[in-house]
Amino acid sequence: MTELRRGWTTGACATAATRAALRGLWGGAFPREVTIVLPHGQEARFAVAEAASGPGWAEAGVVKDAGDDPDVTHGALIRVRVAPSEGGLVFRAGEGVGTVTKPGLPIAPGEPAINPVPRTMIARVVEEEAASQGKDADIVVTVSIPGGEEIAGKTWNPRLGIVGGLSILGTTGIVRPFSCAAWIASIHRGIDVARAAGTSHVAGCTGATSEKVVQALYGLPDDAMLDMGDFAGGMLKYLRRHPVDRVTIGGGIGKITKLAQGAVDLHSARSQVDFDDLAHRFARTDLAQVATALQAAEMVGPALADWAAAAARERALEVLRPAEIAVDVVVIDRAGRVLGRAP
């Protein structure tokens, strides 16, 4: 099997672009490539894709390479402009970089959506370059991503209250292919935002159809909706430590059946419906031969969906203990019809 190629976070790219821009500002010549040190001590080298300067400013761009990860920001240009500030290091959001508007995120409302680790990485580069050139480290750093606002529509940013574009992210500087970490981190930030907004009832759903049904059933606001996807365990374990009053879990019969049978990672590559268990539970030997949980539900009738909802609710309560959180489960079919519920 071919090893999947790693990539770089937007935070690492912005740090590299900052270094190149500062050398253009203070050294007069832009480098073709730069090296930065990532948070865990590894060195990373980046090609400089573009550079420009004018009176009192310089900017450089790095094209994000996400490796073999299906990252929506792969191929995006991360551009940084630097200019002297009136005092200290100042971060600004340029074109395509969002601004935080809700509490609960690691950056305060009103600030550019440049996360703490990228800020620290950029600050270190500013200090290093200033020391090497004998300059003051009083710099305005403006990060832009051309087309970033459109790309942000494919991310969780609008729901998290980040408006106008993308976030500059990354805790390690490295994108690991098909990593679950970024998705789970987004679930956690969604919970943080909901709690900060005083939202007491949240919902985690496996997909867009179940989310639409659950939101309509309960009249929930957008900031109550968590993009759980396959990561029921990631959501429930974080809620155990950061509780709310109530959580609703919504999903198709297949994924809810897997949760009912004990799985908390619902991805098809990591858990499967146990059809022998269903055959035994409902005294139907023919269930052992079916291909999908939906097919089994059609054969058994409402009893299977109601059992799946109730058993999934018990599994969720088990993961949440000792936190006292009310749980209900909604099971739907592909058309969005409710097949079963556990109130």
pLDDT at residue 180, rounded to an integer: 77
What pLDDT digit, counting tens, does each position of 77-133 carry?
999 999 999 999 999 999 999 999 999 988 999 999 999 999 999 999 999 999 999
DSSP 220-247: --GGGEE--TTBHHHHHHHHHHS--SEE
User: The tokens of 229 are what?
Assistant: 């996807």
- Find all residues with CB under 8 Å of 185, minimum gap 6, and list them: none
pLDDT at position 3: 62
Q: Cis peptide leading into 109, omega within 30 of 0?
A: no
229-247: per-residue pLDDT in tens? 999 999 999 999 999 999 9
* Of the candidates 154, 162, 57, 158, the residue with the CA atom closest to the CA atom of residue 103: 162
Residue that the structure tokens 């400013």 belong to: 57
pLDDT digits (tens, 9 = 90+) for 252-269: 999 999 999 999 999 877
pTM for the complete prediction?
0.77
Secondary structure (3-state) at 202: strand
Return the bridge partners of 35, or none. 45
Decide: 69 and 178 in contact? Cβ < 8 Å: yes
Provide mean pLDDT across the span 50-54: 97
Q: What is the signed CA dihedral for 232, 237, 240, 244, rounded to 10 degrees?
A: -40
Beta strand 90-93 with 139-144 is parallel
> How many angstroms separate the CA atoms of 237 and 240, rounded?
5
DSSP H or E segment with residue 47: strand 43-47
In contact, 112 and 97? CB cutoff 8 Å: yes
Q: At what angle do helices 181-196 and 232-241 cross, to 10 degrees?
A: 40
Q: How far is CA 171 from the centre of its chain?
A: 12
**Span 171-199, mean pLDDT?**
86
- 288 CB neighbour count, 10 Å cutoff: 14
Give per-residue pLDDT as tens, 193-242.
Answer: 999 999 999 999 998 899 999 999 999 999 999 989 999 999 999 999 99
